[in-house]
Structures are given as structure tokens and as C-alpha cells.
């Protein structure tokens, strides 16, 4: 038993010696950091290098406009964009421009432009432009499409007699005369 006590005592001495050594070494490691922080020099010992002399404006070459690479179109400058915008605005309270009055007897066949045909819900419709208005017309008086709720595009004496979607043909009746339009 005596030997085990001696071993335990020796073991404690070794451990305490190691602890002392480690704490002494860690103190040595912290010492340079503390001395570096503690030895700050005053503002009187700081010297800054003299500033570089600035070259005169005449000595600097003018900034050259970058040339666009081949095949690219240069974008407009902000000043060009602003200059292109119209100044002012139209009067929102001004009366609307009036449509030109139709000639007596309605529009002529020359004023009508046939632009296409469609079939919607089993009903053939022709796309036309009359003057500055455009829309769809259906077979019947003035080309009114039932259920669309849109006003008639054709004058009162016109009617659509047939629309052939397959061949792209519109047949109108204008005051008793047959007019055929093809795409």
C-alpha cells in the first residue's frame, strides 16, 4: 500500500509540474501581445508621406470617346434620350376629335379592306377594316355578329351574303350590287 501512495504522490507532483510549466509557457505567449498593445507611440512620432503633386488639367489628355466594337450600335447618351422626349402634354380635357362624316350613300367598296377570316364556335367571321375602324363581320344585315355587343362596321345599305373560310372569300351586297373580296 505504501508503494501505491508513493506512486499517487509522485503522479500528483508530475501533474502539478506540468500545469506550472504550461501556465508559464502560456504566460510567455501572451507577453508579446501585451507589450505590443502597451507600446503605442504618440501622435508626435507619426509621420505621413508628402502627398503626390496633382498634375495640371492641361497636362491630362482629353477623355476619348470609346469606339463601339464592330457590329454593335452605340446606345444613346442620357442627354439624347431626354431630348427625344416630347415636352408638355396633350390637354386631357380637350374634346375628342370627330370622325369624318361619311359620304351620302355610305362608304364605298374602295374604303373596305378584307384582312382575314376566322371560324369561331361554328360561325364564320370575316375581318375587315372600314376607314379607321376594324373588326369582325358576320353573315347578315350590316355584318353584325349576333351576341357580340359590338356596333356595326358596315354602312346601313350593306349586308354580308356569305363568308367562305376555306377559300378566304367574303361576299357583300351593297345597295343591290354584289361585291366579292378574296384574300
Residues 54-108: tens digit of each pLDDT: 766 555 555 666 676 788 888 889 999 888 877 776 777 777 666 554 444 455 5
Residue 178, H or E segment? strand 177-182
Quick one: pLDDT at residue 104? 43
CA-based nearest residue to 99, from 111, 91, 89: 111
For cell 356596333, the residue is: 151
Residue 129 burial (C-beta neighbours within 10 Å; 0-12, 13-18, 19+): middle
Phi-psi region of 175 (alpha: psi -120 to 50; beta: other; left: phi over 0): left
Band of residue 17 on the pLDDT scale cut at 50, 70, 90: low
Q: What percent of the chain has pLDDT over 70?
A: 60
CA-based nearest residue to 138, from 168, 113, 161: 161
What pLDDT digit, counting tens, does each position of 122-143 carry? 889 999 998 888 899 999 999 9
Quick one: pLDDT at residue 172? 93
Amino acid at each position: 500500500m505504501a508503494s501505491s501512495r508513493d506512486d499517487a504522490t509522485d503522479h500528483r507532483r508530475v501533474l502539478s509540474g506540468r500545469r506550472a510549466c504550461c501556465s508559464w509557457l502560456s504566460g510567455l505567449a501572451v507577453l508579446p501581445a501585451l507589450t505590443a498593445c502597451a507600446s503605442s507611440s504618440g501622435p508626435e512620432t507619426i509621420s505621413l508621406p508628402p502627398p503626390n503633386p496633382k498634375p495640371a488639367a492641361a497636362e491630362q489628355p482629353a477623355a476619348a470617346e470609346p469606339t463601339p466594337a464592330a457590329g454593335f450600335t452605340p446606345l444613346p447618351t442620357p442627354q439624347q434620350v431626354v431630348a427625344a422626349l416630347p415636352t408638355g402634354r396633350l390637354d386631357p380635357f380637350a374634346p375628342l376629335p370627330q370622325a369624318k362624316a361619311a359620304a351620302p350613300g355610305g362608304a364605298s367598296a374602295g374604303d373596305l379592306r378584307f384582312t382575314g377570316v376566322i371560324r369561331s364556335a361554328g360561325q364564320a367571321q370575316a375581318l375587315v377594316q372600314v376607314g379607321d375602324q376594324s373588326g369582325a363581320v358576320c353573315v347578315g344585315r350590316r355584318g353584325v355578329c349576333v351576341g357580340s355587343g359590338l356596333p356595326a362596321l358596315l354602312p346601313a345599305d350593306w349586308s354580308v351574303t356569305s363568308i367562305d373560310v376555306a377559300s378566304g372569300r367574303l361576299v357583300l351586297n351593297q345597295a343591290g350590287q354584289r361585291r366579292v373580296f378574296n384574300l
